[in-house]
Structure 1
């Protein structure tokens, strides 16, 4: 009798754990689906979030976050030639730099769905502490750059008709010009993570002369073509956008993965709710990014909780659709609108390729073996197309992946020494 009662009790406990896990998975699935939509905001005041246990760093904007860690930063507004108003940040005083700033300035550009804000594991602090004059960009459509001189992003679909083409033709050149004009230098050093490299390549292809304004490019997990991307989640998601963009536009959906919508607020709440939900969020990140499912993770629990207060930061459906297209192509090319529309727009049935040979600036590349979003084969293909590659560095840690570049607790030991080495080579004392 006693044995049967024990077994019944164990079965009940197992059943409860199973049901709890299913509820958590269902909740996260709903939130993940909601991420896609620019849903109405569920605004919670900062005080309310703080009382609910949100990490303080997840509630701060860029200038507040840097100040929290002993850095002084400035906000700058940049106007593009097509009317988009972008926000840049400059760290003017670093906590651990006790000498004059090195020159020229350094421009750090984020990846897809990111912004300049993020957890304290980021490269910004490391670069600033090494006494570089660091500027951080924010491309159109993200949380900090959601303005235009005449278009309202909440009302005008035309605001969202952009992909990496427009970012490369307008945003990156505008930010480079602004930094150079403000500081008085003729050239700067550029660090691009993922999309931040891809858009730079677009600029060099489509804006002759702009590569000459850059002394060095440090390319971190560069996204160009993504033919071998192994993340099933990212591949399925972006290809769905590519196939359904027309239908989504008809329903009025132009913006996706926005910061501040109901879904992002829900996930930020969910991932800090308890140790169980926190670990579940970590597993979702693992499944999204890693090639090797045995990855133990180098992103701390605290960083995960802070991360979802700032990520994702938003982009356009059209941009996500372009990434879906890149999964099917062995070329780094413009948007494929179909044979008839391509003939009208490009004068050819296929979209033109970007001219990678135009990227004449010296390039140093760092990438990881366990990157499920930007596969090593695509990185190596890209580097073979560029005319001035100084070095390709595969991170020694075999588990190093895409998100580790910006969020790993080991960034200072793994990739920053090589970044610092090359910045010094192209920097004046």
Structure 2
């Protein structure tokens, strides 16, 4: 993350030549279509490639306004009669619904599912690019950002799932979560177990609950400071961590182009956080990825993961002794009761994942009694981000996930 901030600072000091044509940025050629995709929002990106897309807004119990994106069918199968099976996709940390479509048709999982006949709904967690609204609190207020992924699981997922059920008429749907999208599911299914009955099957891509064996330098650096919330918030941001914006878009376009000598900075940053796999990273797509990611998150989301690493437990947010006693009735945050999860769960993991390590996945497998099994990606270097951005993600992971999903249609 320090490296990312360095890229932004260098960009701010440079003079970008405004006279260059759209296909040239700071002297380096790139596909104008790549630059366009980097600046389009999720809805516009999906429509650009000929797919139908809808925008829906959902209100949570605690007043947050969330935006959902829907691909009701594929490009060529819109006239097929009868209802379609519904699948709900939930993104990872610092991301948005865009992560399911950034890799273009044939590569992005949302497109692949739509072509296979699914009614695809993509959620956006509170605080990201598309869900930065509240009925009464301004996002410039620190009160807006007083949430972790606990609230995403407890409030956001139930609100979005109920909305999808109401609008499609289906009694159940399938759920696919990536990284934090799995964490939020564990929260929902354990603290609001009635929602187990609304999910027919859950596919967990890079599942994250226990993180005691995490290898991510970022989380490991945060963990020792989590006893002092005030101190750590001064270091990494008091409210919002790495919001997206024009400066990120420009940084991605300027420093991550295929021919740029500075591209190694971008690749090293991604590998530093998530593990190294140069063979599966399409460097041409980096400007698109960085045009949409990071998409914003509350600082407390990262702090919560840091607390889990430090404790090696899967527990609620640690506010400190006195606040814990007032909020939970105990001085320590209570654990999530994973025995409440009844939905059939399929855990998909990779050996080179620095955030969802094999040992931590094994621990989760033992705790979630409804877990059908774990499935390793058959590529030793496959890393965390490869679950959504790998060149061969369809062959290595999506085809297998869809075969499992067919059993629940």
Other structure's SS at 2:189 match: helix
Kindly tell me: are residues 253 and 267 of structure 1, through their superposed partners in 2, closer, same or farther at Cα, counting changes over 3 Å? farther
In structure 2, distance between residues paired with 1:408 and 1:102: 31
Q: Which residue of 2 aligns with 1:365?
A: 347
- 1:422 Cα deviation after fit: 1.5
Given that 1:100 and 1:131 are in contact with CA atoms closer than 8 Å, whether structure 2 keeps it comes out as no
In structure 2, distance between residues paired with 1:116 and 1:241: 31
Q: Which residue of 2 aligns with 1:298?
A: 280
Matched, 1:239 2:223: yes
In structure 1, distance between residues paired with 2:159 and 2:347: 24
User: What per-residue deviation string (whole Å, max 9, x for no partner) do you get for residues 327-353 of structure 1?
Assistant: 112211001123333222222222100
User: What per-residue deviation string (whole Å, max 9, x for no partner) do you get for residues 8-42 of structure 1?
Assistant: xxxxxxxxxxxxxxxxx9985524789xxxx9xxx
Given that 1:257 and 1:264 are in contact with CA atoms closer than 8 Å, whether structure 2 keeps it comes out as no
Other structure's SS at 1:297 match: helix
- 1:248 Cα deviation after fit: 5.9
In structure 2, distance between residues paired with 1:58 and 1:139: 21
Q: Which residue of 2 aligns with 1:127?
A: 113
Q: Which residue of 1 aligns with 2:306?
A: 324
- 1:393 Cα deviation after fit: 0.4
Given that 1:362 and 1:389 are in contact with CA atoms closer than 8 Å, whether structure 2 keeps it comes out as yes
Aligned partner (choices 114, 117, 120) of residue 98 of structure 2: 117
User: What per-residue deviation string (whole Å, max 9, x for no partner) do you get for residues 206-260 of structure 1?
Assistant: 1131111111111111111211011223422x43773553146579821111011
- 1:413 Cα deviation after fit: 0.3
Q: Which residue of 1 aligns with 2:15?
A: none
Other structure's SS at 2:193 match: coil
Given that 1:204 and 1:210 are in contact with CA atoms closer than 8 Å, whether structure 2 keeps it comes out as yes
Task: Tell me whether 102-111 or 214-223 shows the greater mean CA deviation.
Answer: 102-111
Q: Which residue of 2 aligns with 1:30?
A: 6
Aligned partner (choices 89, 92, 95) of residue 108 of structure 1: 89
Given that 1:101 and 1:132 are in contact with CA atoms closer than 8 Å, whether structure 2 keeps it comes out as no
| Structure with greater Cα Rg | 1
- 1:93 Cα deviation after fit: 3.2
Aligned partner (choices 206, 219, 231) of residue 204 of structure 2: 219
Q: Which residue of 2 aligns with 1:197?
A: 182
Kindly tell me: are residues 253 and 349 of structure 1, through their superposed partners in 2, closer, same or farther at Cα, counting changes over 3 Å? closer
In structure 1, distance between residues paired with 2:370 and 2:129: 34
Other structure's SS at 2:97 match: coil
Given that 2:201 and 2:345 are in contact with CA atoms closer than 8 Å, whether structure 1 keeps it comes out as yes
Q: Which residue of 2 aligns with 1:4?
A: none
In structure 2, distance between residues paired with 1:402 and 1:217: 18
Kindly tell me: are residues 111 and 264 of structure 1, through their superposed partners in 2, closer, same or farther at Cα, counting changes over 3 Å? same
Task: Tell me whether 355-364 or 276-285 shows the greater mean CA deviation.
Answer: 276-285
- The alignment yields a C-alpha RMSD, in angstroms, of 2.8
- 1:96 Cα deviation after fit: 5.0
Q: Which residue of 2 aligns with 1:146?
A: 132
Matched, 1:271 2:251: no
Q: Could you tell me which runs of 5 or more consecutive residues in structure 2 were left unpaired when the two chains were aligned.
A: 13-17
Other structure's SS at 1:167 match: helix
User: What per-residue deviation string (whole Å, max 9, x for no partner) do you get for residues 368-413 of structure 1?
Assistant: 1100111111111011101111221011111111100011111110
TM-score (ref. length: structure 2): 0.88
